[in-house]
Amino acid sequence: MRFRWFGALLVVIAALWVAQFSLRVAPLSVDGPLPGPSPLSAFEGDPPITSAEEWMVRRAPLLRAAFQNFVYGSPPAATPPAIARRRVIDEHAFGGLGRLEELQLVVHGPRGDASFALLVATPRQIRGSVPVVIAPNFCGNAAAVGRRYRALAEPVWLAPRCRTLVGRALARAMQGAHIVRPAFRELLSHGYAVATFSPGEIAPDDARLAVAALARLPDASADRLGAVGAWAWAISRVVDVVSREPGIDASRIAVFGHSRFGKAALWATATDMRIGAVIANQSGRLGASPSESHVGETLRGLFRRYPHWFPRVVETEGVSDEIDQHLLLALIAPRPILLNGATLDRWSDPAGAFRAAEAASPVYALFGRVGLDQADMRSTNLDADIAFYLRPGGHGVRASDWATARAFLDAHFKAV
Ligand code: GCU
């Protein structure tokens, strides 16, 4: 009998281990070499960069094209969505802190329509326009607000872990309550609006289903696009909508993305200048962490497990040696970036992301801005334009990740 219990315990521990992608201590030393090439050195025949203007006019377009060709694929057409329906879900949501509305967005394309529901919470107490945080969610809008509203339908596609009560409870236990719910109260009470949606409605996170969904997006082909690129495109479509919403300040739009959505959030910010700040929570390989690193997930493993995330051509030909993820961070300059990591999340390689941030910093200096300005991962400096926050624990979204994100946005969006 005792053996049976012991066996069951082992199985549970093994399952938790797998679900957490390893729960292995991440190396915390950031002394290694910086990922190359230096962002300011010659690139594809373009001479070295010496000013912010040269960066913006010459280098940034070349790099954006390189990331498009070698990593994230060609985005679908930037057609702004139509608002097919709008309804108030709750005038006094979150204990009266915010007003909650649902907007059904539709992007018309030659091969059909792409449609998704956007949930927007705006603070009630504030006059004038407020900054907004766009936060893609993992388990749909109904779950994002704690299943309090029957009016909110399940999205057309839901990740398997979100489909059952047990799955959702396990996800919350393993990866923190905020894996499912953005921190509405934290944000609303500090004067931020929140816009959340389920990226699976645009491209299901499923290798088989994603292909057809990608092909439906305007001007897209499954060969030249992957789900991460499609999710980034969806973030920009949300920007189209929120920047026209009365009461929202279009000059203060931030994106918070965790892990796979952290990859999408970084790519969206690198390509969409309307986004004023980005928080990438444990975005890992092909997010903020360099591909050349030997810690954590490998590119090959990533492509094998998630063949639908990146364009087929990238997976077969590999990512070019000419670019690495520090150049993606550099493309966001001079806009603020917060990178969040966790001590037991070796998988997403936090020290690699820290070094990528360091390597991107000379581009911030061109703009007279302070890039990463901390000696190590623990001495977080939220006033710098690139900040790094490391918390204890494993892969997931915890209250402190959001509290830090909010404090970072206060430092950059509210400073006079
Ligand atoms: C997997 C994947 C990572 C990704 C993570 C997530 O672990 O390998 O690259 O970041 O899922 O999205 O949680």
Q: How many domains does the chain have?
A: 1
CATH number of the domain enclosing 162: 3.40.50.1820
Around 81, how many Cα atoms within 13 Å sit in the side-chain half-sphere? Answer: 29
Q: What tokens does 27 get?
A: 């190396």
Looking at the CA of residue 347, tell me the nearest atom of ligand 1.
Answer: 7
> What pLDDT score was predicted for residue 168?
87
Q: What is the residue with the minimal CA distance to atom 2 of ligand 1?
A: 302
Cα-to-centroid distance, 114 and ligand 1 (Å):
25
Q: Ligand 1 mean position to 92 CA, how many Å?
A: 35
Give the global pTM.
0.95
- In the chain, the percentage of residues whose pLDDT exceeds 70 is 96
Of 232, 300, 303, nearest to 272 by C-alpha is 232
Report which residue type is found at 232. A
- DSSP state letters, 92-140: EHHHHTEEEEEEEEEEEETTEEEEEEEEEEEESS--S-EEEEEEE-SS-
Tens of pLDDT, residues 132-159: 999 999 999 999 999 899 999 889 899 9
Residue 106 near residue 113, CB atoms below 8 Å: yes
DSSP-assigned states of every residue in 284-345: -BTTTB-TT--SS--HHHHHHH-TTSS-HHHHHH---TT--HHHHHHTTTTS-EEEEEETTB
pLDDT, position 236: 98
Residue 87's CB: how many other CB atoms inside 10 A?
A: 10
Tokens found for residue 285: 């390989």
In which domain, by residue range, is 67 found? 2-413
Mean pLDDT on 391-416: 93
Residue having the nearest C-alpha atom to atom 7 of ligand 1? 21
The predicted pLDDT at position 126 comes to: 82
H/E stretch holding 89 reads: strand 82-92
Instruction: Write the residue with the smallest CA distance to atom 10 of ligand 1.
Output: 259
> Which H or E element spans position 82?
strand 82-92
Q: How far apart are CA 164 and CA 153, in angstroms?
A: 15
Q: Judge if the beta carbon of residue 260 lies within 6 A of ligand 1.
A: yes
pLDDT for 29: 85
Q: What's 73's DSSP letter?
A: B
Q: Quote the pLDDT of residue 20.
A: 54
Average pLDDT score over residue span 25-43: 91
Residue bearing the bigger pLDDT, 33 or 97 = 97
pLDDT of residue 38: 96
Q: Is 375 left (phi over 0), alpha (psi -120 to 50) or beta?
A: alpha
Band of residue 197 on the pLDDT scale cut at 50, 70, 90: very high
Angle at 26 between CA 24 and CA 32, to 5 degrees: 150
Least confident of 144-148, 165-169, 318-322: 318-322
3-state SS of 40-65? CCCECCECCCCCHHHHHHHHHHHHHH
Q: What is the mean pLDDT of residues 371-375?
A: 97
Please give the pLDDT value at position 5: 78
Q: Give pLDDT, residue 136.
A: 98
4 secondary structure, DSSP code:
H
Q: Residue 112 — pLDDT band, cuts 50, 70, 90? A: confident
Q: Is 205 in the pocket of ligand 1 (CB under 6 A)?
A: no
Predicted confidence at residue 8, as pLDDT, reads: 73
Closest protein CA for atom 8 of ligand 1: 302
Q: What is the pLDDT of residues 52-79, one digit of tens each?
A: 999 999 999 999 999 999 999 999 999 9
What was the pLDDT predicted at 19? 55
Q: What percent of the chain has pLDDT over 90?
A: 80
Structure tokens at 73: 């694929």
- The confidence score (pLDDT) of residue 15 equals 63
Please tell me if the CB atom of residue 280 comes closer than 6 angstroms to any atom of ligand 1: no
Average pLDDT over residues 233-238: 98
Atom of ligand 1 lying closest to residue 282 CA: 10
